[in-house]
């Protein structure tokens, strides 16, 4: 089974654009840009992918490299602490190669400013030694393509953002697209399924391929231990119930977020810092993982004063809107952090 699992994990991501499912608009634009770059025999313009986690930003970066027939070198914003870290990457890049930086919004200011001339003019000014012996070397680079990915596009500085020639926002996937992705994954695993079971998993996957594949693996585990290995209605339903995934795909953290907003903050408005403190979670976790889907399905509103719960969410959780009285709302806490 280890060999099958390894094959599953390595084969899961598509290698070329025609193997990708969903993100039709992004794929069409990428295909044209890549074809044009290959015709001109020049590197592709710098690309930025942004959107919630799990939608395929890293996958698309690797697809771009494969379509260009180039090598890809990968790093992440937090890993590039000083200019020397970037210099090590840039000095090993050949013409047409792809440099992928995940979570690019977390680059430090010195590193970000260091790569500006690398992106624009394909050269960098690298300082060696220090003090009286310091000297700056103008280091020419081979023409490359920088592919950045971020879940927080609003945290990118304007100068860095403006240096990307192509900016693509990745949308949540439809249940039909997720079903196609799950069908491919189930086929790779040789996993037998009753009709409609993949659709049931897809409908609870929050529009995210990463979550869909994770749930498929958990359901498969349950089927092998509690059943015959086949995905039947009872097996799928019981496995998802064990994972605490409800019919809309909400997990326990999502429900805790909505319950806290309702019971502690009278339905809102409430600041995200206050909600995070109440739940004992990091603000980034709530903003990157929980909120995007709740906003997408209309369960939460973001206002200047904070987050507010909607009647749709109250109905789903079978809760009643609290009676609010002047001064009852605790939204004043951390309000200055809203809409940052």
Inter-helix orientation angle 209-226/175-189, to 10°: 50
Cα–Cα dist 24/17, whole Å = 10
pTM over 0.85: no
State the average pLDDT over residues 62-66: 90
What does the pLDDT read at residue 289?
A: 84
Q: Residue 266: count other Cβ atoms within 10 Å of its Cβ.
A: 20
Q: What are the structure tokens assigned to 174, written together?
A: 């439809």
With respect to residue 302, please indicate whether it lies within any of the assigned structural domains. Answer: yes
Which of these three, 169, 186, 210, is where a domain ends? Answer: 169
41/67 same-domain check? yes
Q: Residue 129 gets which letter from DSSP?
A: S
State the average pLDDT over residues 59-87: 86
284/223 same-domain check? no
The CATH number for 47's domain is 3.40.50.300
Which one of 210, 217, 255, 301 is the catalytic residue? 210
Q: How confident is the model at residue 100 (pLDDT cuts 50, 70, 90)?
A: very high
139/185 same-domain check? no
Which of these three, 210, 242, 274, is where a domain ends? Answer: 242
What does the pLDDT read at residue 135?
A: 66
Cα–Cα dist 179/204, whole Å = 11
Which one of 15, 27, 29, 58 is the catalytic residue? 58
Q: What values do phi and psi take at 222, rounded to 5?
A: -65, -40
274/198 same-domain check? no
Over residues 313-327, the pLDDT tens digits come to: 888 888 877 765 544
Of the candidate ranges 19-28, 71-80, 129-138, the one whose mean pLDDT is the lowest = 129-138
The CATH number for 202's domain is 1.10.8.60
Which of these three, 209, 242, 275, is where a domain ends? Answer: 242
The answer to whether residue 266 scores a pLDDT higher than 60 is yes
Range of the domain at 298: 252-321+328-337
Over residues 143-176, the pLDDT tens digits come to: 888 899 998 888 888 888 888 989 999 988 999 9
Which residues share a beta bridge with 138? 125
State the average pLDDT over residues 135-144: 78
What does the pLDDT read at residue 132?
A: 60
State the average pLDDT over residues 206-235: 86
Is the distance from CB of 168 to CB of 30 less than 8 angstroms?
A: yes
81/155 same-domain check? yes
State the average pLDDT over residues 67-85: 85
Cα–Cα dist 329/52, whole Å = 30
Establish whether 145 is a catalytic residue.
no
What does the pLDDT read at residue 169?
A: 92
The answer to whether residue 333 scores a pLDDT higher than 50 is no
183/164 same-domain check? no
Q: What is the dihedral of CA 24, 29, 35, 40, to 10 degrees?
A: -170
Establish whether 151 is a catalytic residue.
yes
With respect to residue 247, please indicate whether it lies within any of the assigned structural domains. Answer: no
Establish whether 39 is a catalytic residue.
no
161/74 same-domain check? yes
What does the pLDDT read at residue 4?
A: 47
12/107 same-domain check? yes
Quote the percentage of the chain above a pLDDT of 90: 10
The answer to whether residue 129 scores a pLDDT higher than 70 is no
The answer to whether residue 5 scores a pLDDT higher than 70 is no
With respect to residue 283, please indicate whether it lies within any of the assigned structural domains. Answer: yes
Q: Omega of the bond prior to 153 within 30 degrees of 0, cis?
A: no
Of the candidate ranges 203-207, 233-237, 298-302, 335-339, the one whose mean pLDDT is the lowest = 335-339
Which one of 59, 97, 102, 206 is the catalytic residue? 102
150/22 same-domain check? yes
39/118 same-domain check? yes
The CATH number for 290's domain is 1.10.10.10
77/110 same-domain check? yes
| Overall number of domains in the chain | 3
Q: How confident is the model at residue 335 (pLDDT cuts 50, 70, 90)?
A: very low
Quote the percentage of the chain above a pLDDT of 70: 88
Kindly give, in sequence order, each residue whose CB lies less than 8 Å from that of residue 85, ignoring residues fewer than 6 positions away: 75, 79, 111
The answer to whether residue 89 scores a pLDDT higher than 90 is no
273/226 same-domain check? no
What does the pLDDT read at residue 2?
A: 44
What does the pLDDT read at residue 178?
A: 93
Establish whether 251 is a catalytic residue.
no
Establish whether 10 is a catalytic residue.
no
Short-list 177, 176, 198, 196, CA closest to 187: 198
What does the pLDDT read at residue 7?
A: 45
């Amino acid at each position: 089974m280890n060999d099958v699992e390894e094959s599953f994990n390595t084969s899961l991501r598509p290698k070329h654009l025609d193997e990708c499912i969903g993100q039709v608009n992004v794929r069409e634009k990428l295909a044209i840009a890549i074809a044009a770059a290959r015709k001109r025999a020049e590197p592709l313009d710098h690309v930025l992918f942004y959107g919630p986690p799990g939608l395929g930003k890293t996958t698309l970066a690797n697809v771009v490299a494969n379509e260009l027939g180039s090598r890809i070198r990968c790093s992440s914003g937090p890993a590039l602490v000083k200019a020397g870290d970037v210099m090590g990457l840039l000095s090993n890049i050949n013409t047409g190669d792809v440099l992928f930086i995940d979570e690019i919004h977390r680059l430090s200011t010195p590193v970000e400013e260091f790569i500006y001339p690398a992106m624009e003019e394909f050269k960098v000014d690298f300082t060696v030694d220090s003090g009286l012996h310091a000297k700056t070397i103008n280091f020419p680079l081979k023409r490359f393509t920088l592919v950045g990915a971020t879940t927080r596009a609003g945290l990118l500085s304007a100068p860095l953002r403006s240096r990307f020639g192509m900016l693509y926002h990745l949308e949540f996937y439809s249940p039909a697209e997720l079903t196609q992705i799950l069908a491919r994954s189930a086929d790779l695993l040789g996993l037998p399924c009753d009709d409609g079971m993949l659709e049931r998993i897809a409908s609870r996957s929050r529009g995210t391929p990463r979550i869909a594949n994770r749930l498929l693996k958990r359901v498969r585990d349950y089927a092998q231990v509690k059943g015959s290995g086949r995905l039947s209605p009872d097996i799928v339903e019981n496995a998802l119930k064990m994972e605490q995934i409800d019919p809309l795909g909400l997990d326990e953290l999502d429900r805790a977020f909505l319950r806290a907003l309702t019971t502690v903050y009278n339905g809102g408005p409430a600041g995200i810092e206050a909600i995070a403190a109440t739940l004992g979670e990091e603000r980034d976790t709530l903003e990157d993982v929980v909120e995007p889907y709740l906003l997408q399905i209309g369960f939460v509103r973001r206002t200047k004063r904070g987050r507010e719960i909607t009647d749709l969410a109250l109905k789903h959780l079978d809760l009643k809107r609290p009676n609010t009285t002047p001064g009852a709302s605790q939204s004043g806490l951390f309000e200055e952090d809203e809409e940052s």
